[in-house]
Amino acid sequence: MAKRDYYEILGVGKGASADELKKAYRAKAKELHPDRNSDVPDAEARFKEVNEAYDVLKDADKKAAYDRFGHAAFEGGMGGGGGPRGGHPQGDFASAFSDVFDDLFGDFMGGRGGGGGRQRAARGSDLRYNLRIRLEDAYSGLQKTINVPTSVSCSSCSGTGAESGAEPTACPTCSGMGKVRAQQGFFTVERTCPTCGGLGQIIKNPCKVCGGAGRVEKDRTLNVNIPAGVETGTRIRLAGEGEAGLRGGPTGDLYIFVEVMDHPIFQREGVHLSCHVPVSMTTAALGGEIEVPTIDGGRSRVKVPAGSQSGKQMRLRSKGMPALRGGGTGDMFIELAVETPVNLTSRQKELLREFEKLSEHNNPESSSFFTKVKGFWDGMKS
């Protein structure tokens, strides 16, 4: 079942202020409170929905993630198990391993660990980076250096958020659970601890550099390997290269969304390429050889049979795009466009008139098209 939009649930616009959100939440929670709606079957579910929506939108970090990615921002992880990822490169220049996803969008940030309320609250956001590349780069693959504005673990406090020496202590409100339970009539409602924001820890003496967040804003330079065969819509995940988590929480992932630009010469359809090639009237009539460009920057010589018409297609095997995960190379289709000569000299015109006289036996009026047209006209008369 599709999840409803959080703003819609609360009945506010995307630009709603914290105050407006709070007001809307209070009104909805009152209206839908299970104690007053014991005869409405879905009241409890709707009440929970309202709580969940407000839980996200009242938190600036979560709200930002939701605005960017929607519900996918909180649906758990690629790796299944969740939990902190140890030892990924945190340096200024990290050469990243990448996984390529070009499947359904459902893969995007799907399935992270579920349930773990505390870690979910502290995990850094996933980031999206849009990368436009040329078709020839998609053909060969490329190494790309990108700059990503993100937040990284604070080096002053090693990501703990505490001034050196001061250890974070368990939150007294929730005893480190990150959640508090409240009895509301018949129901027990569990919600994020208001004191620690779900982290389960408080810091009495926060780090002066990061203000206790355990992370600081910074541009990161990444060296990304874009594999051959990518196309518009291909996503590349760089695990652990997203935003640093809060107070040492697990780092989010970075997703590179590839867009392959249109090419002035080649059109792409999956692994195949096509290309319109002009050919002179004489070559088309008499036959000959033409040179066509190929995506690797080279050229191929192609035989044009005598009597080729405009629109004739020819296939150059294995001159298309590589498949993303191996499995061969596509073909290139050439479509001929026979060009009518222009700016004729008087000698050329003379020759063409002579040619015309000699061509009376094979003029268009004897073609099957005109035979059909004649039948059509005769049919209209009767």
Site string for Zn ion, 89-128 (x = CB under 5 A): ----------------------------------------
- Nearer to Zn ion by Cβ, of 135 and 157: the residue is 157
- Nearer to Zn ion by Cβ, of 37 and 195: the residue is 195
Binding residue (CB under 5 A) for Zn ion from 21, 57, 131, 210: 210
181 membership: H or E segment, kind and range: strand 179-184
DSSP states of 105-117? GGGTT-----S-H
Question: How many CA atoms, within 13 angstroms, populate the side-chain half-sphere of residue 193?
Answer: 22
CA-to-CA separations, 305 to 27, 139, 340, in angstroms, rounded: 78, 30, 18
Task: Please tell me the distance from the alpha carbon of residue 155 to that of residue 157, in angstroms, as a whole number.
Answer: 6
Q: Shortest approach of Zn ion to residue 113 CB, angstroms?
A: 20
- Nearer to Zn ion by Cβ, of 70 and 117: the residue is 117
The first and second tokens of residue 26, run together, are 């209070």
Stretch binding Zn ion (CB under 5 A), from 201-209, 264-272, 301-309, 325-333? 201-209
Binding residue (CB under 5 A) for Zn ion from 9, 122, 196, 295: 196
Q: Shortest approach of Zn ion to residue 53 CB, angstroms?
A: 21
Binding residue (CB under 5 A) for Zn ion from 50, 171, 222, 279: 171
Binding residue (CB under 5 A) for Zn ion from 207, 239, 290, 321: 207
DSSP states of 284-311? HHH-EEEEEE-TTS-EEEEEEPTTPPTT
Question: CB of 148 within 8 A of CB of 222?
Answer: yes
- Nearer to Zn ion by Cβ, of 34 and 178: the residue is 178
Question: CB of 98 within 8 A of CB of 225?
Answer: yes
Q: Shortest approach of Zn ion to residue 65 CB, angstroms?
A: 21
Q: Quick check: 244 binds Zn ion (CB under 5 A)?
A: no
Q: Shortest approach of Zn ion to residue 155 CB, angstroms?
A: 8
- Nearer to Zn ion by Cβ, of 216 and 238: the residue is 216
Binding residue (CB under 5 A) for Zn ion from 174, 254, 332, 334: 174
Stretch binding Zn ion (CB under 5 A), from 17-25, 138-146, 148-156, 308-316? 148-156
What are the residues whose beta carbons fall under 8 Å from the beta carbon of 200, sequence distance 6 or more?
118, 170, 171, 174, 176, 177, 178, 193
Q: Shortest approach of Zn ion to residue 1 CB, angstroms?
A: 32
Q: Quick check: 284 binds Zn ion (CB under 5 A)?
A: no
CA-to-CA separations, 240 to 100, 131, 249, 326, in angstroms, rounded: 15, 19, 11, 26
Binding residue (CB under 5 A) for Zn ion from 37, 156, 225, 310: 156
Task: Please tell me the distance from the alpha carbon of residue 56 to that of residue 351, in angstroms, as a whole number.
Answer: 81
Question: CB of 148 within 8 A of CB of 276?
Answer: no
Q: How many helical (H) and strand (E) elements, i.e. helices and strands, does the chain have?
A: 9, 17
- Interface residues with Zn ion (CB under 5 A) are 154, 156-157, 171, 173-174, 193, 195-196, 207, 209-210
